[in-house]
Chain A
Amino acid sequence: MDFGLSEQQEMLKKTARDFFKTELPKTAVKEIAKDPRGYPPELWKKMADLGWVGLALPEQYGGSGASFMDLTILMEEMGRACLPGPFLSTVILGAMTVLDLGTDEQKSAILPRVARGELVLTMAIAEPHAIYRSDFFEVEARHVAHHYTVSGTKLFVTDAHVADYIIVAAKTKGGVTLFLVDARSPGVSCSLLPAMAGERQCEVKFDGVRLTRADMLGGVNRGKDYLEKVMQRAAAARCSEMVGGAEQVLEMTIQYAKDRIAFGKAIGTYQAIQHHCANMLNDFDESRYMTRRAAWLVSEGLPCALEVSLAKAWVGQASRRITSLGHEVHGAIAFQHDHDMHLYTKQAVVGEASFGSSAYHAEVVAKELGL
């Protein structure tokens, strides 16, 4: 077994860290939070020019041909930077799905523009009564004559308000089918949800949206199995973001424990604080190693259902513990909006709930154990 990053991965990580340090100070993150778009298009363009949006896309579609593993290394740094915006939506949910399931026409039409930073994609999975459980979907694509009409409400759809295309997972007779929907199609409406963290989430209504077979991704009733793959990728990617965030929280907290004086000494001198820090470190290491293992299995196309769920169930809870202890060590100062801690705290809470909560993934583990 080899837990090490390759030289290229180390370089990617360092480049990304330096880039976000200069291009995305936390003051900017807080400013962007007030912007209805939720992300700065100029920064998105720069990231595309660096080859990051198309990092894991093949060269023939304008990408760099890197692996999913490389992508998650980059996403660790995005989590560390609290990067707002539609990266996970566009790349993990959108482009990778189009790449896997799309026809040549779909791929040629969409992917090069994604890689150039010209298109934002997302996928609509969750529903009010069936967060991620496709067996209970109510959004339906009815086959009428030579077309389909899609109706119903999807919830917690990330970045739909700025998306050019929304992949919708809809119930079809005998299964679930994915459709690539132009977000400007008549009958598609979108409203922002008042979500806690920087990530934008929407309610998306489909009201008799008219689609044809050419809009389908991967054929009729191919959606259910494929959604599992999407969830695995998204969960692994989300874990990577949380790991990056947790690392930053750990470092901030250690620094604060060294600098802050109370009772005449740096508070890090006291065992109560030291043990909080040690627990944060261990939670972080456990999360990072498991995330990388899960991401690597996804990347290699090996069976990964158990490992991804182990990681997501753990990292969600661990990230929350890390931010809680970070607050405890910082005391009142990090309760201030001016401070950066709350960005991570919110990111961790949303991270745990999205793409399968800890309880959801624990149940996957139970199934994998044969229970």
Chain B
Amino acid sequence: MDFRFTPEEEAFRKEVREFLDKELPKDWPGVDPDCYHEDAFDEIHEVSVAMQKKLAAKGWLGLTWPKKYGGHEQPLWKQIILEEEMTYRGSPGLDPYQFVGGMGDLLLEFGTEAQKEKYLPMMIRGEIKGATGMSEPNAGSDLANIQLKADLQGDYFILNGQKTWQSAAHRADLAPVYVRTDPNLAKHRGISIILVEYQKTPGITMRRLEMMSGLGAFNEVFYDNVKIPKENLLGEINSGWKIVMAALSHERSYGVMLLINIRRDIDLLIEYCKETKDVDGEPLSKNRLIRNRLAEVVIQQEIARNVGYKLNHLALTGGNVVSTANHVKILGGITTQRVAQVGMQIMGLYSQLGPVGGNWRQTDPVKDKWARLGGRMKHLYLSTICNTIAAGTTEVARNAAAGALGLPREPKPAPKK
């Protein structure tokens, strides 16, 4: 047992911090791991693209990937530290859809040699942006119900149907899209994964959806006789469910990122309470109730963070990460929501004011005069509502935990005739 970081780890952490000090714009307030701000606003997207290039130049994209595709074959602990430090600073540029348990890992595990040679070097050079094509109007938690049809005709798959709630799709170049290749097989059996180049493929139309937070960061994606070359099939035909499961088990990091990211908000809130005076002229931080509330959210976050460290330990020692990643995902959702609730309670009426344009990089000196912390708490409250839903709801995660405990499965409804 040893709960310290090694000197080597500390040194790399320091290197990442210094890089971020140097490369992030001055007074950078931070973006979230959901990428919603960078996907919603062009000027933040540009910062993201620039950071991605800088990371590529530094050799930090595809850090652990094989050298033959341009990767750097570095140990996994470096990737973990890179993710942690970038997340705490709210730095964009390490596109999660490619590098944090995303497409890259799927390509390495299931891709053909030609696919790897084509796409991995582009990713490593920081030239493309990724997304993922999972949810449909009738396939959210019931993911195996996806209906987007892909018919193999000669050398092409012909795609017809729609996806929805597709984060990042409007800016993405490439995404693994989950399609139904055989409607006659049982629903888990007829699924395949196809790599779709969003920007270059005719027949795809997208409609930007606005979120309740006001950001336009996800999309409906419609496929109308879209032709995709058959060599873009990832893995074997009709065995996509295996890849879905792998994709979810690669989700090592998302819960951890939420938990690290929220610490930045907790620290902001602590500063706010130290600087803001109560009616009695004493700082809010001296109020017993507020001290207790702040301590409680820190306790919750630290306990959850520690489970995140356990997850790292499992990943680094080759243990089975699935149950713990699932646990951390639950913790990420409920902890971030709790912080937002406490923040709203502490800041009271000020908490519900946000930047007029929804972009906290461009607060209006007149209209946003009363918005404290750049309107962060309002955004946090609204955006974290999604954290117990996106990438698997808390309820689905609890079902999985019950399964891991060996509890019997719920009986399935009889198959449709």
Which residue numbers of A lie inside 8 Å of B, CB to CB?
1-6, 9, 69, 254, 257-258, 265-266, 268-271, 273-275, 277-279, 281-282, 285-286, 289-290, 292-293, 296-297, 310, 313-314, 359, 362-363, 365-366, 369-371
Contact = CB atoms under 8 A, between A and B. Distances in A.
A363 B295 contact: yes
Instruction: Describe A's contact surface by its main secondary structure.
Output: helix
Given A274-B402, A363-B292, A1 B309 contact: yes
User: Can you list the 3 inter-chain pairs with the closest CB atoms, starting with the nearest?
Assistant: A274-B402, A278-B401, A278-B398
B302 A310 contact: yes
A277 B407 contact: yes
16 contacts: A3-B310, A4-B313, A257-B407, A268-B408, A269-B409, A274-B398, A274-B399, A278-B398, A279-B398, A281-B401, A285-B307, A289-B307, A290-B306, A293-B306, A362-B292, A371-B286
Given A277-B405, A279-B398, A313-B299, A271 B4 contact: no
B296 interface: yes
A74 B306 CA distance: 22
A268 B407 contact: yes
B319 to A, nearest CB: 9
Given A269-B410, A281-B404, A282-B331, 14 more contacts: A2-B3, A2-B313, A3-B1, A254-B405, A258-B407, A269-B409, A282-B401, A285-B310, A286-B307, A289-B306, A313-B296, A362-B291, A362-B292, A371-B270
A371 B291 contact: yes
Contacts of A359: 292
A5 B298 CA distance: 27
A343 B402 CA distance: 25
Contacts of A265: 408, 411
A66 to B, nearest CB: 13
B408 A269 contact: yes
Instruction: Describe B's contact surface by its main secondary structure.
Output: helix
Contacts of A274: 398-399, 402, 407, 410
A271 B399 contact: yes
Interface in B6-59: none
A289 B327 CA distance: 13
Nearest to A268: B407
Q: How large is the interface on B (under 10, 10 to 19, 20 to 34, 35 or more residues)?
A: 35 or more
Contact of A5 (B1, B4, B312): B1
A307 B414 CA distance: 51
Contacts of B286: 371
Nearest to A315: B303
A69 B3 CA distance: 12
A277 B402 contact: yes
A274 B395 CA distance: 10
B270 A369 contact: yes
A289 B401 contact: no
B10 to A, nearest CB: 12
B406 interface: yes
A296 B4 CA distance: 10
A370 B283 CA distance: 13
Q: Which of B285, B302, B327, B411 has the most CB of A within 10 A?
A: B302
B408 A275 contact: no
Contact of B2 (A2, A254, A313, A371): A2
B217 interface: no
A278 B402 contact: yes
B68 interface: no
Contact of B313 (A3, A266, A362): A3
Given A269-B410, A366-B291, A281 B330 contact: no
Given A1-B313, A369-B270, A69 B1 contact: yes
B2 to A, nearest CB: 5
A365 B299 contact: yes
A5 B273 CA distance: 41
B271 to A, nearest CB: 10
Given A254-B405, A274-B407, A297 B3 contact: yes
A282 B310 CA distance: 13
Nearest to A312: B299
B374 to A, nearest CB: 22
B273 A258 contact: no
Nearest to A359: B292
A309 to B, nearest CB: 8
A299 to B, nearest CB: 9
B407 A1 contact: no
Given A270-B410, A296-B1, A286 B303 contact: yes
Given A277-B405, A277-B407, A362-B299, A296 B294 contact: no
A1 B402 contact: no
